[in-house]
Chain A
Amino acid sequence: MSQNHQPIETFVEKLVHEYFEADEHLEKIIWIKSPKPEIRLIEVNAQTITTNDVFAFYFPPFDEIPYAMKIAEVTPDEWQKVLQNEIPLPMGWSLEDRQEFSRELVAV
């Protein structure tokens, strides 16, 4: 359970809806589940630049989301390379336990 007695899924879904609603170029969000109390997201967005890395930026918890967040942004091509293990994930991240959200499956 989270710090405020709501499951972490609730906060992830809130973020996913917010992000899809605000950014029309966002194609997919991958939630990488973590043993730590933090939200790890990879966003697939054709508008971002290609770096051939998955760099996750850290944001501290705040009132509405009481979890630290680590957010990376990749292009669709980079995401395919991640899936094919050509681009590594950040240390400790794994594709084994992930949940994908696509725009079509999320009612915006």
Chain B
Amino acid sequence: MIDLRAWQLAFLKQARSDWETYQRIDDPAWPTCHRLHFLQMATEKLAKALLVADDVSLDKITHTHAAFVKFMRVARKNHNLQKELGMTYSQIIVHFNRLLPIAREIEILAPTLAQAGPNPEYPWLDNTGEILVPVDYSFPLIKLLQSPPGTQLLRYIRRFFVAFEKLFL
């Protein structure tokens, strides 16, 4: 018998470690690709910590990378979160809709979703045939994360990590 709660907490623990690493290296002294890589991994595993609660095979969970945006969309229905933010479901839909495009930009950093384009892990070919290396690339997403919706999204992600047990368990 698989102990799903134990798996859930395991995903959460690893997600929190990724998030902590992201926070430690979220400094211009560090290459942008590594900062974004840890942000992408943290958010992916955060979403998977909810998915793993039941009904989805672990194999499928570990092999998918498109989980964070759906997590953000479905999390709006969480009454604990609505209560925490002091918003109704209608209000939280409007509010989160502003953040979803940036969440999607984070999600598609995963190489398998980047479709041979910019990603924080592996070199890729650009339109002119030049090989680009993540460590040399200035990801536009890093600027988006400094915009008002970007900072808001990061605040929510931090809140999800701090209060995960209260909100989602």
Q: Which residues of A contact B (CB under 8 A)?
A: 18-19, 21-23, 48-49, 51, 53, 55-60, 62-65, 69-73, 90-93
Contacts and interface: CB of A to CB of B under 8 A. Distances in A.
A49 B54 contact: no
> What does DSSP make chain B's interface, helix, strand, loop or mixed?
helix
Size category of the binding interface on chain B: 20 to 34
B155 interface: no
A51 B53 CA distance: 19
A62 B79 contact: yes
Nearest to B50: A57
B104 A49 contact: yes
Nearest to B94: A22
B80 A60 contact: yes
Contacts of B131: none
Listed from nearest, the 6 A-B pairs whose CB atoms lie closest are A58-B53, A90-B55, A22-B90, A51-B66, A57-B74, A22-B89
A65 B71 contact: no
Given A23-B93, A91-B57, A92-B55, A59 B66 contact: no
Interface string B55-82: 1110010001011011101110111100
A86 to B, nearest CB: 15
A60 B70 contact: no
Contact of B169 (A51, A60, A70): A60
Contacts of B122: none
B168 interface: yes
A18 B90 CA distance: 9
Contacts of B157: none
Given A57-B71, A59-B78, A73-B70, A21 B90 contact: yes
Given A55-B70, A56-B56, A58-B51, 17 more contacts: A23-B93, A49-B70, A51-B64, A55-B67, A56-B54, A57-B71, A57-B74, A58-B53, A58-B168, A59-B78, A59-B79, A59-B80, A65-B79, A90-B55, A91-B57, A92-B55, A93-B55
